[in-house]
Amino acid sequence: MNTSRPRPTPELLDRLRAGKDELHAEQRDLSLPEKVRQLLALQKIDYEIRKARGELRTWEVPWDIEP
């Protein structure tokens, strides 16, 4: 029995690439404070995941700062 996923169509891949390019263009236009705010938000999410897994070292705890 074949349980593998079907390969994505070329049209789907083109749409995904176009969406990725659009996202990157939007991110390039963000101000530096907004980029830092997003980075800190992502680090907090990563921190919670790592803490739940028990993989955290003391130097991996994000700083408690606001941009």
Could you tell me the two tokens for 13?
Answer: 């891949």
pLDDT tens digits for 11-23?
A: 999 999 999 999 9
Residues 30, 36: Cα–Cα separation, whole Å: 10
What are 26-58's pLDDT values in tens digits?
A: 999 999 999 999 998 898 898 889 889 887 788
- Helix (H) / strand (E) containing 23: helix 10-28
38: how many CB neighbours lie within 10 A of its CB? 13
Annotated domain spans of the chain: 32-67
